[in-house]
Structure 1
Amino acid sequence: MSNDEKPYYNDLIGDMLKRNDETQGMQHLKGAGKPLPKEYFSGDTFQHFQRIAKDAGYKPHWLKLQHEIRDELTSISEILEVEPHTDVESRIQKLNEKIREHNKHCPPPMLKGTVSRGTINVAKGYWM
């Protein structure tokens, strides 16, 4: 490696900020242009990042998926209550794909299993 080349490193937070800036811009963020509170500079950096992200309204991808899955489970359940013989297999298959995607990104205690026609109402209980 020559002196001009910089070593590659993984900057996840920087990449997320760049992507957000390109798609949504950073001017709309609450508190833009104001100094950060002093408490953000003391203690654990990761915890402070989480607090700042939460204050800014950031939701992790897995949490967005969790809300979508909950809403889809409710929708399928309501359809089956009205017409139990309705064909919902394709919707359940798409729902299970979302559940697998959720499980790839969520914290380990939040992992959940896939659903079937017979387990929709049980699954609704643990996705709420």
Structure 2
Amino acid sequence: MGKEHGHVNWMDQIFKEYERDGGLKNNPGFGKPLPESALSGNIYDNFLTKAMDAGYLPLWIKWQKEIREELSGLVRLKKMNGPESEIMKRIDEIMRKSVHIMRFVQPKCSAGK
């Protein structure tokens, strides 16, 4: 099953098994029309809303949480009079991550303008 040019095409095999077992017909929304809201407005924002409702966190939100945790650790280190070199090193790491996030998110934010 799924042999092409002497090798097994695993994706074809997986998809055929998926279809045999009911495939998309087992999904609760199968055969129902998409809501109007899914096709209007900003499709990317609609996708993110649905994905977040399903428990998916966009990458930049994950990064934002990581930075928030790192900042909390930095504040604790500062309160405990940690070494200045370690404090500066952590600040540099946080700044680098922040710049990376801004470069990633900025094109998405300006796309709607």
User: Larger Rg: 1 or 2?
Assistant: 2
Instruction: Give how far 1:59 is off.
Output: 1.0
Please give the residue correspondences for 1:34-113 in structure 2 after superposition, counting only pairs within 5 Å.
34-36=27-29, 40-45=34-39, 46=43, 47-83=45-81, 85-87=83-85, 88-106=87-105, 108=109
Structure having the higher helix fraction is 2
Question: How far apart, CA to CA, are the structure 2 residues paired with 1:71 and 1:39?
Answer: 42
Quick one: which amino acid aligns to residue 95 of structure 2?
Answer: N
1:40, CA displacement in angstroms? 4.1
Taking structure 1 as reference, are residues 36 and 101 closer, same or farther at Cα in structure 2, changes over 3 Å only?
A: farther
Structure 2: 5+ residue stretches without partners: 1-25
Cα RMSD for the two superposed structures: 2.7
- Are 1:61 and 1:105, in contact at CA under 8 Å, matched by a contact in 2? no
Q: Distance in 2 between matches of 1:39 and 1:48?
A: 16
Evaluate the alpha carbon distance shift between residue 42 and residue 98 of structure 1 in structure 2; reply closer, same or farther with a 3 A threshold.
Answer: same
CA–CA distance in 2 between the matches of 1:49 and 1:83? Answer: 45
In the alignment of these two chains, the number of paired residues is 77
Alpha-carbon deviation of 1:94? 1.0
2:22 corresponding residue in structure 1 = none
- Quote the sequence identity (%): 26
CA distance in 2, matches of 1:95, 1:102: 11
Q: 1:59 to 1:52 in 2, by over 3 A?
A: same
2:37 aligned counterpart, secondary structure = coil
Alignment gaps of 5+ in structure 1: 1-32, 110-128
